[in-house]
A and B are shown apart, each in its own frame.
Chain A
Amino acid sequence: MANIDLDCRGMNCPMPIVRVSQTLKTIAVGDTITVNADDPSFQADLEAWVRMTGQTLRVFSTADTIRTAVIERTR
């Protein structure tokens, strides 16, 4: 169960989601991506993206302006 870190700080909509989807293609089912982003719509967009693509959002936390998410590739 490997993890990849993805830094999307400084990126604005829709680039964090584009990067997440690109990174997901490079990992195996069961692996995770830990993303940091400061795009204000990141939470809403990521939750929508997870619903669309059938992946799993394990953790979402916000500290100051930085949103941190852990996404598990489930399919």
Chain B
Amino acid sequence: MPPELEALVARLVDARVEERLRAAGVTDTNRASLIVFSGDMDRLVAAFTVALASAASGLEVSMYFTFWGLTAIRRRRTFAGKTFGEKLAGLLLPSGPATAGTSRLHMAGIGPRFFRRLMRRRNVASLPEMIAMAQELGVKMIACEMSMQVMGIRREELIPGVEYGGAATYVADAAGAKVTLFI
């Protein structure tokens, strides 16, 4: 195929793809979409590192917090008006990112303390600092309502600025994203 023809075909295909995406409601493809399922400190650090780098590189970033991942955006525990099971779940789960455990070498809480010290010594930003920075950079954070119900987590337990949604909210975002990750 002559190069001019190839370039023409490529342009036409690009235009058509863009048109189709727009028709499907997918407008901005310059996006990174992350599902944060884990509540482990080490995995959360990885998730927020990628989120911050993506935001800094000009991508629109959205993070969906589901199940254990809700720990990252939790700021406190409440018990009022909860069932016994919800109270128990609330008590057993970490009250927020500062008390998240590690996925390996947890050793009854010694591991996370040890890793936090190592990270500080190596000038790696702490998890709460990364979360604050992500909010500052406009990273969109969405809490999964279904897992909030399962875990008995109320909206007032989450940090301000969080949005709420379900699986379809994620899919609509991820369908137009250049980067999607499940962490």
Contacts and interface: CB of A to CB of B under 8 A. Distances in A.
A45 B49 CA distance: 13
A17 B53 contact: yes
Contact of A12 (B53, B56, B57, B125): B125
Contact of A18 (B122, B123, B124, B137): B137
A12 B137 contact: no
Contacts of A49: 56-57
Interface in B106-128: 122-125
Given A18-B52, A18-B137, A53 B58 contact: yes
A12 B122 contact: yes
Chain A at the B interface: mostly helix, strand, loop or mixed? helix
A17 B56 contact: yes
A57 interface: no
Nearest to A48: B57
B133 interface: yes
A15 B57 contact: no
B52 A14 contact: yes
B73 to A, nearest CB: 19
Interface in B23-64: 49, 52-53, 55-59
A21 interface: yes
A6 to B, nearest CB: 13
B130 to A, nearest CB: 9
Contact of A13 (B49, B59, B137): B49
Given A13-B49, A14-B49, A20 B56 contact: yes
A21 B123 contact: no
A11 B124 CA distance: 7
Given A11-B123, A12-B123, A12-B124, A18 B133 contact: yes
Interface in B125-150: 125, 133, 137
Nearest to B51: A14
Contacts of B125: 12, 15
A67 B115 CA distance: 27
Contacts of B123: 10-12
Interface of A: 10-15, 17-18, 20-22, 45, 48-49, 52-53
Interface of B: 49, 52-53, 55-59, 122-125, 133, 137
